[in-house]
């Protein structure tokens, strides 16, 4: 079981990295609707593993992006980057079973 969990978490880690890059690219290009979708995708993954802080930060990014508020979206993104970094570091420390 532990090795299955570790494998799942490694997949989640890679998805987090890719989704965050995509989210940043959408925000850089002003594609706020696409950014909101990326944040929603990260949120879904965070909820699966009960990463409440990441999930809340994702919702804040998505809400600000859907409202078209670039400044609030950027501020929420900074918080998401921080919480996602902590989650990713925890995943990296997870034993391989």
Q: What is residue 94's DSSP assignment?
A: S
Give ∠ CA 77-80-81 in degrees, rounded to 5.
85
Nearest one of 53, 52, 78, 75 to 64, comparing CA atoms:
75
User: The pTM is what?
Assistant: 0.90
Tokens 């998505």 correspond to 62
pLDDT tens readout for residues 1-54:
568 888 899 999 899 999 999 999 999 999 999 999 999 999 999 999 999 999
Whether residue 48 contacts residue 29, with contact meaning beta carbons closer than 8 Å, is answered with no
All domains of the chain in start order, with CATH: 2-93 (1.20.120)
Give pLDDT tens digits for 50-95. Answer: 999 999 999 999 999 999 998 899 999 999 999 999 999 998 888 7
How far is Cα 25 from Cα 11, in angstroms, rounded to an integer? Answer: 21
What residues have CB less than 8 Å from 30, skipping those under 6 apart? 70
């Amino acid at each position: 079981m532990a090795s299955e969990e570790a494998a799942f978490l490694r997949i989640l880690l890679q998805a987090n990295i890719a989704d965050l890059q995509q989210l940043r690219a959408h925000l850089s290009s002003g594609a706020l609707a696409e950014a909101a979708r990326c944040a929603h995708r990260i949120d879904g993954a965070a909820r699966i593993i009960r990463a409440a802080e990441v999930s809340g930060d994702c919702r804040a990014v998505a809400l600000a992006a859907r409202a078209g508020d670039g400044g609030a979206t950027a501020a929420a993104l900074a918080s998401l980057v921080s919480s996602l970094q902590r989650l990713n570091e925890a995943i990296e420390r997870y034993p391989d079973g």
